[in-house]
Amino acid sequence: MPVKAFRSPEVVLMVVAGVAVAILGPYALYRLSPHAPSVSTQETKSGSRGIDLDISDLDTLPDSLRDGAMLLLTTETPELPDSIANLAVPTGENVLRPVSESIEETRPVLYWSAAFGEPPYSVSITDEHNQVIARAQGIQNTSWMVLTPLHPGGEYTWQVSVTGVSEQASFRVLDDGQVMLWRAMQAAHRDSHLILGLVAQQLGMLGIAEREYTALTKAYPDSNTAALLLNNLTDLRNR
């Protein structure tokens, strides 16, 4: 498109626009890239409850994210995002997080329950080719940070063992494009639990989505939509 010349009284508007581009540049670039996530959902049931929250900010999202958000806001039977749909289910209830979800960190902290048994614990992590990439023994706490940086976009399985008993869970690390999108969303919508929760869920970051929806229900305790999002997310994680 041809660029129109700005008159001197409009210099301030040019400055403001420049600042906006500087802040949302990664987001704008992401909208032109092929990284937009997809969410698989069953068809929205007829007669689903109306949306009782302000959703005007959805218009600022890329088309795929906006459409996915509308489905999450209205469906009563959401499905896992494609990016994490094939992760192995956890083999026990003592592995806490990350479990069957996407994460941003390339050196995540793994958490398990003290009810699993008395320390010391042993932990290992394998990649999608079943190659052990990190392990530790003699752990006295119920958490451990992965020391070897994980590959963006990779899928991993971690296992914790104590007294001959083991439990394991799987997770996925966001790829570079998804990290760029997520950080842009955090910058642009840092005060919106609704937008951050909807985007996080579509990216497979279920723990973060649950946190945002919990905050949303506290901010709007009478909202049926907020309650629906949290209940659906909880049910999804417990499947």
- C-beta of residue 150 within 8 angstroms of C-beta of residue 157: no
23, 188 Cβ separation under 8 angstroms: yes
For 5-33, the pLDDT digits (tens) are: 334 444 333 433 343 333 344 444 344 44
Question: Rounded to an integer, what is the distance from CA 186 to the centroid of its chain?
Answer: 12
Q: Convert the pLDDT of each residue in 36-81 to its tens digit.
A: 454 433 333 333 358 999 999 999 999 999 999 999 999 988 899 9
Provide the residue count of the chain. Answer: 239
Amino acid at position 148, single letter:
T
Cβ(192)–Cβ(219) under 8 Å? no
Exposure class string for 165-190: b at 16+ Cβ within 10 A, else e: eebbbbbbbbbebbbbbbebbeebbe
Q: Across all residues in the chain, what is the average pLDDT? A: 84
pLDDT at 39: 44
Residue 213's H or E segment, with its range, is: helix 206-219
